[in-house]
Structure formats: C-alpha cells, structure tokens
Amino acid sequence: MTHVPAATRALRLLRFLATRSGPVSATAIAAELGLPRSSVYQLLEAMAEEGFVTHLPEEHRWGLGLAAFEIGSAYLRHDPLERLARPLLERLTEETGATAHLGVLHGADTLYLLKEQPPHAPTLITGVGVRLPAHLTASGRALLAHLPRAQVRALYPTSDSFVTRTGLGPASPSELRELLGRERRQGYAIEEGQVTEGFSSVAAAAFDHNGTPVASISLTIPSARPVTPAALAARARDAAAELTRRLGGRIPQPS
C-alpha cells in the first residue's frame, strides 16, 4: 500500500464525511479511503479528541464534529467566494466593458454578492444584496440548470410559482425545464429583456468539489451593443471555470 501521511488521511476523511448526507460507519470509511480499519479507528479517535468528528455509539457511526463546523463558519466569515471572484470580475469589466456580477441562489431568487461596472455605465437594478427571481436572470438560470430536476420542481411546483417583470421569461414548469435543458447543454444562460428592457445578460456557473453549482458569473450589456451573446458568454465561462479552479471544484460532465 502506498504510504499516505497521517495529515493527508485525516483531511481525506474529513472531506469524505462532508460529502455524506449523515454519519457513516468506520467500515464504510475504511472501504472508501482504502485504509485499514485499525488506522481509521486511530484517526477517528484522535480527531474526536480535537472535536473534528463525533462518535454516535448507539448507531456505530461517525459524523462531523463541532470543530469542523467552526472551521467552515470561519471560512465563510472571511468572504472567500467574494475574495476569489472579485479580481475575475474586475478583469472581465475592464476587458469587455460590460457590467459583471457574482450571484448565488437564495431559494428561488438570485442574490447578487458582487457587482463591477465600467465608468459611465447605465444604472442597473442589480446591485450587491439585491434579490431577483432566479428563473428570469441569466445568473439564476445558470445555476438552476445544473441542479437536480427534483430540486428545481420543488422551487417551481406550479405555474403560480412564476412571476414576470417585463412580460418575458418562462411561465410554467415545462417551459422552465425546456429552457434549463438547453442552457445546460450550451454551457451558459442568456437573458434578453426579462429583467430590464433594453439590456441583455449571459452567465455561467462555478462549481464546488462535488460538481455542485455554487455561484454564477454574469455579464450585462445594453441589448443594442453589437456583441454576440456567444462571444460574451465565452468570457463568462472562462471566468467561471477559473473560479471553479480557485474553489478547488470540478466542472461536471455534460449530461
């Protein structure tokens, strides 16, 4: 067996537990990581002493401990997503002359975390902290397109779940499903006048280590500007791929 340092084993074990939906037996951990059960028990006991894992004796299983939660909370307090994305957005705005956004899903809404705009850019409704219906925004649909269908159905169960701003956009679950399928296959979402008349946006998703969409990078320009959506989308996709790399994520294979 290839020698693996104890620190590396502990980190692999933590990552494995973080991807499970609940506590896991030591046997399952050993099988997944390819380690002897005796080594896994030693790791678990040491990590439990430090609070990174917790033992559920009645279930004979192990789960993440409070210390792991504290580390995750500290990571979030440092605004890592915004810090990693901001230079990418600044570069996009400088090179394309478009307004760039970083967005995440907040229920059925798009929540904008960052906004970079060129000098003398027209005023847009989008801004840091603004929430808009995800099915209308390129930012939101770029993320919805990569969620499990059941999750999308839960967010949009009936036609009553859909609102409109300009009279454009999907108005039923079947319309949204068809649109998301097309945007997933092409690798980006496009919105033309669905949020604000006279403006168009393209967006691409960034992913975590599980291939789950965590944020989107979008570019918005006046619709009259002579730039093809595909050309602008290529820039958004490149930036989203770089953000995925910075997050230690992976881009899922097209389905």
Tokens for 141, please give them.
């649909």
pLDDT per residue as tens, the chain (255 positions):
445 588 889 999 998 888 787 899 999 999 999 999 999 999 999 999 998 999 988 889 999 887 887 776 665 555 688 889 999 999 999 999 999 999 998 888 999 999 999 887 777 777 788 889 999 999 999 999 999 988 999 899 999 889 888 888 899 999 999 999 999 999 999 998 888 888 899 999 999 888 889 999 999 988 877 667 888 999 999 999 999 999 888 888 876
Sequence-distant (≥ 6) Cβ neighbours of residue 153 within 8 angstroms: 173
Measured distance CA(214)–CA(20) in Å, rounded? 18
**Residue 111: phi, psi to the nearest 5?**
-110, 125
pTM of the model: 0.71
Q: Which backbone phi and psi does 108 adopt, to 5 degrees?
A: -95, 20
